[in-house]
Structure 1
Amino acid sequence: MDVVAKRRVYHFLKADHGIQNIEKRRIKISTLLGVNDPFELLAHNVSNRSIRDALMLTRKTFDKEFGLLCFSKSSYSPVQWAHYGDRHAGVCLGFDVDANLLEDVCYEDKRTDDFTLSADSESEPEWMRKFLYTKYSHWSYEDEVRAFVALDTEDCGLYFKNFDSSISLVEVQVGFNCELSRSRVSEALGDLSSHVEVFKVRPAFNSFKMVRNLDGSLWE
């Protein structure tokens, strides 16, 4: 049997959402038209009306069938913790994800001009990569890696990806302002506790990073 390569990636969220995800063994899928970047899938120059119409149609078509799982390459950033980890009162979930499902986001200062409406099988893969994985450079602090997944599992108008062999929970990092107790996290993990690492983070003493608090006695 071939061994599938994995990548360790991280997802920041509020504490209550994190506990729900752990208990229900799933992660929320972001819809393309529901993300916080209005330029999502619009990295190309759309001054030309025909190009603009074509890209908008493609974007709407994608939105009906596919969504995004958005991760970061690391969990160290205090900015990530502040923006997506509820001002350090949230959690960061670490996952081992099949590497072939993930692609790094490329950050650019300017919109790309290489869009073409003609069918070119040789240039299509590179064009599609730019279409799906390019964002404005000011988002680079997110250090994003993403996966496109089908919108299959719906719950109250939201879509989720269930934990499985392709995406497994391996870390629960608790923000240094988070009020979650150790026992509450353990309760949510249940039978996952034996192979999921759980710890609280704190500001590093010698860098601008959030790091593991090695003194476990400080978290009850």
Structure 2
Amino acid sequence: MKLSLYDELNDPFELLSHALGDKLMRKAHKALKEHFTKTKGVICFSDNWKSPVMWAHYGQKHYGFCLGFDVPTGHPDQEYVYAMNYEPERLRFEFEKEKWTEAVGRSFIRQILSTKAKAWEYEHEWRAMADLKEKDPNGFYYVDFSEHMQLREVVLGARNTLSVGKVAKLVEESGPLSASVQVLRARVAHQTFSIVRNREVTPIMIKASRE
């Protein structure tokens, strides 16, 4: 899975959760933002694949596909796995040195990492954070599928022209699977503005690899 870098994400307010009228706050936020930009990457998830807007923005206008994962929260392989919070206004933080504790610091950093504007709420986003280690030859960072981030589902978009069988074969040939994976096709719903499973196309279940 390719890691996204904070300074390449599509929201210019990444890591800018708090109102920064105070010069000291701006300085602290700048240092934290530089730290996370240089050392961490994220994988962005949504909690469902039903949104036509998400498919339009991130699924190649419904010609692409969606990968579904089992990702346990709080596993040591990811420093953070967390839900994003959406706020109508920038957060306020009153700094009182005498009241500062380690717990207050952790809460402050968690707010910075997990807060976005309310306009992004339609994404229902979750994120996994990982260290930036070695770049590949093209300059990208990746983390491998593992028992702690298990591929469980491949959903072909409503306009995707590949067959379920062909995609299932590609998944099988991609390497060992730590869990079974279902490949299915989506379609536009008949009565609502949502994307649903196409039950006219039989899904294919690929069994986990046996070591």
Bucket of the pairwise TM-score, normalised by the shorter protein: 0.7 to 0.9
State how 1:87-106 maps to structure 2 within 5 Å. Answer: 87-100=61-74, 101-106=80-85
Cα distance, 1:206 vs structure 2: 2.5
Name the CA distance, whole Å, in 1 between partners of 2:48 and 2:56.
14
Tell me the secondary structure at the aligned position of residue 190 of structure 2: coil
Aligned pair partner of 2:54 in 62, 76, 80: 80
Q: Tell me by how many angstroms 1:193 deviates.
A: 11
2:120 is equivalent to residue 139 of structure 1? yes
Q: What's the C-alpha RMSD, in Å, of the aligned pairs?
A: 2.0
Match of 1:173 in 2: 155
Residue 115 (structure 1) shift: 5.2
The residue number in structure 2 matching 1:112 is 91
Deviation at 1:178, TM superposition (A): 1.0
Structure 2 residue matching 1:154: 3-state secondary structure: coil
**CA 1:115 to 1:38, structure 2 compared with 1: closer, same or farther past 3 Å?**
farther
2:131 match: 150
The corresponding residue for 1:66 is 40
Bigger fraction of residues in strand: 1
Alpha carbons of structure 1 residues 159 and 117: separation in structure 2 relative to 1, 3 Å: farther
Alignment pair present for 1:125 and 2:114: no
Rounded Cα–Cα distance in structure 2 between residues aligned with 1:146 and 1:197: 23
Which residue identity lines up with residue 4 of structure 2 in the other structure?
Answer: S
Residue 189 of structure 2 corresponds to 204
**Aligned twin of 2:164:** 182
Letter in 2 for 1:133: S
Unpaired runs of at least 5, structure 2: 75-79, 203-211
* Contact 1:115/1:127 (8 A) holds in 2: no
Asked if 1 retains the 8 angstrom alpha-carbon contact of 2:151 and 2:179, the reply is: no
Amino acid at match of 2:150: S
Alignment map for 1:8-47 (pairs within 5 Å):
27-47=1-21
Q: C-alpha displacement at 1:117, in angstroms? A: 7.6
Give the number of the structure with larger relative contact order, counting CA–CA contacts within 8 Å between residues 6 or more apart.
Answer: 1
Gaps of 5+ in 1: 1-26
Mapped pair 1:57 → 2:31: yes
Q: Percent identity?
A: 36
TM-score by length of 2: 0.84
Listed one character per residue, the Cα deviations across residues 12-36 of structure 1 (whole Å, up to 9, x for unaligned) are xxxxxxxxxxxxxxx1111111111
